[in-house]
Structure 1
Amino acid sequence: MKALKTLGRALAAAAFLAAASAGAQTTVLRFSDLFPAAYPFGALSAQFAKDVKERTGGKVEVQVFPSGTLTPPPQCYEGVLQGLSDICQAVLAYTPGRFPVMESVDLPGYPNSGRLTTRVANDVYQKFQPRELDAVKVLYLHAHPPGSLMTVNKPVKTLDDLKGMKMRSTGLSARIVTALGGSPVSMPITQAYDPLKRGVLDGTDGTFNALKYYRFAEVTKYTTMATDVGYVSTFAVVMNKAKWNALPADVRTALDAVSREYMVKAGDLWDQIEREGLAFGREKGHEFIRLDPKELERWRAAVIEPLHTDYVKRVSGSGLPGEEIVKAKRESIKRHSAAFPALEVPVK
Structure 2
Amino acid sequence: MTYASLPRSLKTFPARKSRILLACAAVLALAAMPALAQDKAVQLKLSSWVPAQHPLNPALQAWADDIKKASNGSITATLFPSEQLGKAFDHYDMARDGIADFAYVNPGYQPGRFPVMAGASLPFLFANGKSGSAAIDAWYRQYAAREMKDVKFCFAFVHDPGTFHSRKKITVPTDIKGMKVRPATSTVGQMITALGGTNVQASAPESRDMLERGVADAITFPWGSIGLFGIDKVTTFHMDSPLYVTPFVWVMNQGKYNAMSPAQKKVIDDHCTTEWAEKVASPWADFEFGGRAKIAAQPGHEVYKLTAEQTEAWKKAVAPGEAQWADSVKKAGQDPKAVMDSLKANLVKYKAAL
Taking structure 2 as the reference length, the TM-score comes to: 0.80
Q: Which moved more, 1:88-97 or 1:292-301?
A: 88-97
Matches within 5 A, 1:6-155: 23-128=38-143, 130-152=145-167, 154-155=168-169
Residue 237, structure 1, aligned to residue 250, structure 2: yes
Q: CA deviation at 1:130?
A: 4.2
Q: CA deviation at 1:280?
A: 1.6
**2:36 and 2:71 in contact (8 A); partners too:** no
Q: CA deviation at 1:194?
A: 4.2
Residue 217, structure 1, aligned to residue 217, structure 2: no
Q: Which runs of 5+ in 2 are unaligned?
A: 1-29
**1:141 and 1:235 in contact (8 A); partners too:** yes
Query: How far apart, CA to CA, are the structure 2 residues paired with 1:266 and 1:108?
Result: 23
For the aligned residues, what is the CA RMSD?
2.7
**1:52 and 1:61 in contact (8 A); partners too:** yes
- 1:332 is aligned to 346
Residue 317, structure 1, aligned to residue 336, structure 2: no
The amino acid across from 1:247 in the alignment is M
Partner SS, residue 259 of structure 1: coil
Deviations 1:61-111 (A, max 9, x none): 112222222233222222222222222112112233332222222222224
Query: How far apart, CA to CA, are the structure 1 residues paired with 2:271 and 2:193?
Result: 40
Query: How far apart, CA to CA, are the structure 1 residues paired with 2:278 and 2:317?
Result: 33
Structure 1 runs, 4 residues or longer, greater than 4 Å off: 197-200
Q: CA deviation at 1:27?
A: 0.9
Query: How far apart, CA to CA, are the structure 1 residues paired with 2:208 and 2:258?
Result: 43
How many pairs were matched up? 318
- 2:217 is aligned to 202
Partner SS, residue 84 of structure 1: coil
Please identify the structure whose Cα radius of gyration is greater: 2
Query: How far apart, CA to CA, are the structure 1 residues paired with 2:312 and 2:95?
Result: 42
Q: CA deviation at 1:239?
A: 1.4
Change (3 A) 1:69 1:297: same
The amino acid across from 1:48 in the alignment is W
- 1:284 is aligned to 298
Change (3 A) 1:83 1:271: closer
**2:187 and 2:325 in contact (8 A); partners too:** no
Query: How far apart, CA to CA, are the structure 2 residues paired with 1:341 and 1:87?
Result: 29
Deviations 1:203-243 (A, max 9, x none): 22211122221232333222113424x3x322111112232
The amino acid across from 2:250 in the alignment is V
The amino acid across from 1:143 in the alignment is V
Change (3 A) 1:45 1:114: same
Query: How far apart, CA to CA, are the structure 2 residues paired with 1:336 and 1:129?
Result: 20
Change (3 A) 1:274 1:21: closer
Which of 179, 187, 197 aligns to 1:165? It is 179
